[in-house]
Chain A
């Protein structure tokens, strides 16, 4: 009887094995290809926060801030005093100053946890990520040692494998991106180190460490899972938001009604 049970267990394991393991690429590394999305309120605020009105009274409970336990390791971002003051100014001006309101590219790591899916395409030497938000795109060179020729919104990404973890170093930012809708920010000098690690067949542990001595007293990290979108026939649709921001950006330059 005991042998029979064992046998049954083996059989179960044998058939279930492919679903129990994170997919592997032809080169043996984890294959992160797929459509992923976070389930957090980190896009509202990386730090722990309670529910709050969204800032546009006319919208009522719609687009109000959903509560969240936060994704910062240790809860608080270690701002220098003057940088904390800047964050608070950003927060006060968030309805007009947040680059998201202008449909500007999300930057890294913010693009990861905005409330939109992303799709990863992995080959042996390049990982590219297409973000639905603002149709953003990143090229990540595995083993690359490229230096950013110029500052950019999405930064310049080089990666290496550490075991099953894809470690991506991102530099060359322009300092104009924010980290969330609460005004948290980094400067152009920021170095972001992302770590993508298989967690279960349909989950990636995503971690990003941000070093920026001009803004923080020490390096700090965020951590959250990416969830695989498993819907049949799912495909990434366009979120081309440029037209949505035109009234905000150029409305004051319209021809006045006669």
Chain B
């Protein structure tokens, strides 16, 4: 696969950009009705991992030299992923390079961070509470030994219900880590490429007291200066994002940093799942293009193949038992 060096180093780091944000205020592109213009299609790819490697402790940023070395290592590893051996599962599943799916094919902004997570200070997801572990065990017990019995036993993403990467908070996933933002007066719509349009009113009204469970939750937004602040709650109990309960609350802050980049900040809290809130930040990079329709269930040959494959195995096993 060809190596696509699209990681153009700019002189400013993200921190510097944030510090310059007030100076950049005047150039902040605005919609015809005067709100900050966040519309566009963006890549969520970033070289920083979600969680910081333990050995880095509380070191939040790489030096420029370390960042270059780290980038080279990550991209080389990603590049190796593209070389598949004929007849292996990797070869018939996704050749990550072919469909511009691997990390070295997507557009990214420079990011010196050692992890996406910034809170807590170790850059790692806090451990699950006892209550969350109990819920996780109960869910696993239902599936244990029945993982291939029927569609309900498969993951939500295999079922084309929701993808962990596109629910709020939006985090880069294995592939198709792109999103698009639309705006109209009083509304912002965010859609992860594989996800649903999240309709966010920006009139500053708080979330309604009574929320019906929704897979993507219900969102309420407001502008704080040039930053869009979105609060989301009311999740479907089965969404169980990273083992969270339906009581999870998500706060997202989206700010334009420059013509090419938005900064995406998020924080999640759910005391029944994590003892403390956690969150992070990463750049969204303008894709310079538009997203194509992701019709999931319409092309879900995988589900039928998974189930029929298992039925075939069961028939084979039964034939062996019977003389």
Residues of A within 8 A of B (CB): 25-27, 31, 33, 102-105, 119-124, 126, 128, 130, 135, 137, 139, 146, 149-150, 152-154, 176, 233, 235-238, 240, 242-243, 245-246, 249-251, 253-255
**Is B304 a contact of A237 with CB atoms below 8 Å?**
no
**Is A105 a contact of B298 with CB atoms below 8 Å?**
yes
* Stretch of B60-68, B98-106, B143-151 at the chain-chain interface: B143-151
Partner of B189, one of A105, A130, A235: A130
Q: Does B74 contact A (CB under 8 A)?
A: no
Whether A122 touches B184, Cβ cut-off 8 Å, given contacts A146-B290, A154-B293, A246-B152, is: yes
Render B290-310 as a binary contact track against A, CB cut-off 8 A, 1 for contact.
Answer: 111101111000011001101
Count of CB-CB pairs between chains A and B under 8 Å: 119
**Is A104 a contact of B295 with CB atoms below 8 Å?**
yes
B164 CB to closest chain A CB (Å) equals: 15
**Is B32 a contact of A27 with CB atoms below 8 Å?**
yes
Q: Does B231 contact A (CB under 8 A)?
A: no
Render B151-187 as a binary contact track against A, CB cut-off 8 A, 1 for contact.
Answer: 1100000011110000000000000000010111111
**Is A242 a contact of B150 with CB atoms below 8 Å?**
no
**Is B161 a contact of A240 with CB atoms below 8 Å?**
yes
Which residue in chain B gives the minimum CB-CB distance to A139?
A: B290
**Is A253 a contact of B197 with CB atoms below 8 Å?**
no
Docked complex Cα distance between A51 and B166 (Å): 42
Whether A254 touches B160, Cβ cut-off 8 Å, given contacts A104-B295, A128-B182, A152-B293, is: no
**Is A238 a contact of B307 with CB atoms below 8 Å?**
no
Which residue in chain B gives the minimum CB-CB distance to A103?
A: B297
13 other A-B residue contacts (CB within 8 Å) besides A139-B291, A146-B290, A249-B297: A26-B185, A102-B298, A105-B293, A105-B295, A120-B184, A123-B32, A123-B183, A128-B189, A152-B293, A243-B152, A250-B304, A253-B311, A255-B149
Of B31, B32, B216, which is in contact with the most chain A CB atoms at under 10 Å from its CB?
B32
- Which residues of chain B are within 8 angstroms of A240 by Cβ–Cβ distance? 161-162, 196, 215
- Which residues of chain B are within 8 angstroms of A255 by Cβ–Cβ distance? 146, 148-150, 310-311, 314
Interface residue ranges of B182-217 to A (CB < 8 Å): 182-187, 189, 191, 196-197, 199, 201, 208, 212, 214-216
**Is A102 a contact of B297 with CB atoms below 8 Å?**
yes
A104 CB to closest chain B CB (Å) equals: 5
A155 CB to closest chain B CB (Å) equals: 9
Docked complex Cα distance between A237 and B291 (Å): 23
Interface residue ranges of B215-270 to A (CB < 8 Å): 215-216, 218
**Is A237 a contact of B161 with CB atoms below 8 Å?**
no
Q: Does B3 contact A (CB under 8 A)?
A: no
Docked complex Cα distance between A146 and B160 (Å): 28
Which residue in chain B gives the minimum CB-CB distance to A176?
A: B298
